[in-house]
Amino acid sequence: MKKLLLIGTGGTIASRETGDGLSPGLQAEEIVSFVPEVRNLCEIEVLQLCNIDSTNMNPKIWRELVQAIKENFDRYDGFVVLHGTDTMAYTSAVLSYMIQHSRKPIVVTGSQKPIDREGTDARVNLRDSILYAMDDYSENVVLIFDGNVIAGTRAKKMQARSFNAFQSVNFPVLARVQDGRIIRYLPYIPEREPVRFFTEISDSVCVFKLIPGTRPELLSYLFENYDCIVIESFGVGGIPDALLDTVYREMNKWKESGKVLVMATQVMNEGSNMEIYRVGQKIKKDFQLIEAYDMTLEAVVTKLMVLLKQYGKSYEALQKAFYREVNHDILCAV
């Protein structure tokens, strides 16, 4: 019989009413007891990493999660991580970058309603995730929710309350799990390279969302205090004229000190391309700016967190690595 490690981190799936609102209280062991039939599929062992609302997720816990999977990697055939939905897409993305070429599936799942509630989505999500994690044709990091199997780097929370909370952005859903069957939409290409763990991660990345009329002072503060700024711009991407002086002044200082500016867009679908308009083209050329193209913001941020630790000293190497595809994260870089 195959062996599965179920890792509890908290989230609504583990939550109970406290009088002050829902808060994680159930342990992973108790959570599996709500779906006893999964014990027929595989041997399940549990590890309780933490028990938090995923609003409190952070890079330190990600490091511990990766460490836990690394230490147990040879002993199990697959992993299911129970997680809150609010930052689940960040965690599935960061796991994709910190654990690459995994022949063994690492599934991240959770629910919109606690597992002990009637009509909860938790039981079906947990059952689907275990089924998928124990299938011979599953590999790498995926997020499973409401029957959709989404590549770890492509998930985004799109509904605050409904059961179909996650969508796969700019990439097809990999598979569906329906009535206990897996329907795969993409051909199985076995991982050939050995698994690689990256256990270091930077917390010096920030996101700056532009609005019409953004004041430049704010940008100067971020330039001084972070190693990497991701600007969420408008449309296919550009910098407002009113911010250009600040950006040029800071960037000239910055490039020498190994800091990085990355352009992304507030528009979720189809991605950025700064070469289309004057507001984007010139500045991109002047500083060889990195841009997100079709990646999700969650993937951009977490990829940079991991790459900064490896290539923080060389802008060219970081740029090259950023555009290298990992777990289906980018298709359209030119």
Ligand X SMILES: NC(=O)C[C@H](N)C(=O)O
List of residues contacting ligand X (CB under 6 A): 11-12, 53-55, 84-86, 110, 112
Nearer to ligand X, 83 or 104 (CB): 83
Please tell me whether 265 is known to bind a ligand. no
Catalytic residue, chosen from 85, 109, 120, 296, is 85
What letters, b where the CB count within 10 A reaches 16 and e where it falls short, cover 268-298? eeebbbbeeeebbeebbeebebbbbbbbbbb
Nearer to ligand X, 53 or 232 (CB): 53
Nearer to ligand X, 112 or 273 (CB): 112
Least distance to ligand X from the beta carbon of 140, Å?
Answer: 23
Least distance to ligand X from the beta carbon of 261, Å?
Answer: 30
Nearer to ligand X, 11 or 147 (CB): 11
Please tell me whether 54 is known to bind a ligand. yes
Catalytic residue, chosen from 12, 109, 120, 296, is 12
Nearer to ligand X, 19 or 187 (CB): 19
Least distance to ligand X from the beta carbon of 12, Å?
Answer: 3
Terminal alpha carbon distance of the chain: 46
Residues 6+ apart with CB under 8 A from 163: 112, 121, 146
85 is catalytic: yes
Least distance to ligand X from the beta carbon of 177, Å?
Answer: 19
Cα distances from 98 to residues 145, 206, 318, in angstroms, run 22, 19, 16
The beta-strand segments (E) located in the chain are 3-10, 15-17, 22-24, 43-52, 78-82, 99-100, 106-109, 141-145, 148-151, 155-157, 166-168, 175-178, 181-184, 196-197, 205-209, 228-233, 260-265, 290-291
Task: Dump the DSSP string for 269-311.
Answer: SS---TTSSHHHHHHHHHHT-EE-TT--HHHHHHHHHHHHHHH
| Residues 288/255, Cβ–Cβ less than 8 Å | no
- SS3 at position 45: strand
Which residue lies nearest ligand X, judged by its C-beta? Answer: 84
Q: Residue 227: which of 125, 312, 332 has the closest Cα?
A: 312
Least distance to ligand X from the beta carbon of 117, Å?
Answer: 12
Residue 113 token pair: 């309603």
Please tell me whether 296 is known to bind a ligand. no
Annotated binding site for substrate: 54, 85-86
Active site residues: 12, 85
Binding residues: 54, 85-86
